[in-house]
Amino acid sequence: MKYINDLLEKFANKESFSPAEKAEILRAVCLDSAALSGADLTSFWQYDTDQQAITCVHSYDRLSLRDVTGVVLTAEKYPAYFRAICEDSGIIANDAVSYRVTKEFNNGYFDEYGIVSLMDFIIRDDQGDPKAIICCENRETIMGWDMQALNKLRALATLVQFHF
């Protein structure tokens, strides 16, 4: 967690962050997520106020530098996924195209970005409601992520959850 640790040290005495500083933190989250998971596309998503949509607020793509920032996914279009992220702390879908919770992304998201594996860690607020997601996706090969990989994202999320 090299990138985020460097920033947390840099910002140790700050109580709030400018938009540029938040962007720098999100970039570090995405870079460290890629290093921890081996994913080729990592992103940070935030919920809207009524928790019916998530928006990608920052992404890192080590293969093509393609940016998914600004993409919005809705509960209306992807109900199984939204139910799962409300109930679980994370999702591991090594074969995301076939996995029961993520296969609904096949038309409109996975097909557009070529995604075959997905691992998400859900960041929750003090009441336990989801507020953000660290997302790792892979396009080149189906990954073999497990709870150990998800726990690495949990550790990263613990470092940054209070800043968002």
Domains of the chain: 2-163 (3.30.450.40)
- For the whole model, what pTM was predicted? 0.90
Question: For the chain, which ranges sit under pLDDT 70?
Answer: 1-14, 65-66, 162-164
CA separation (Å) from 70 to 5, 34, 46?
Answer: 26, 19, 11
Q: Which amino acid is at 67?
A: D
State how far the Cα of 138 lies from the Cα of 119, in Å rounded to an integer.
9
Structure tokens at 142: 């189906």
CB neighbours (10 Å) of residue 103? 16
The pLDDT assigned to 117 comes to: 98
The pLDDT assigned to 65 comes to: 65
The pLDDT assigned to 9 comes to: 67
Q: How do 53-61 and 72-74 pair as beta strands?
A: antiparallel
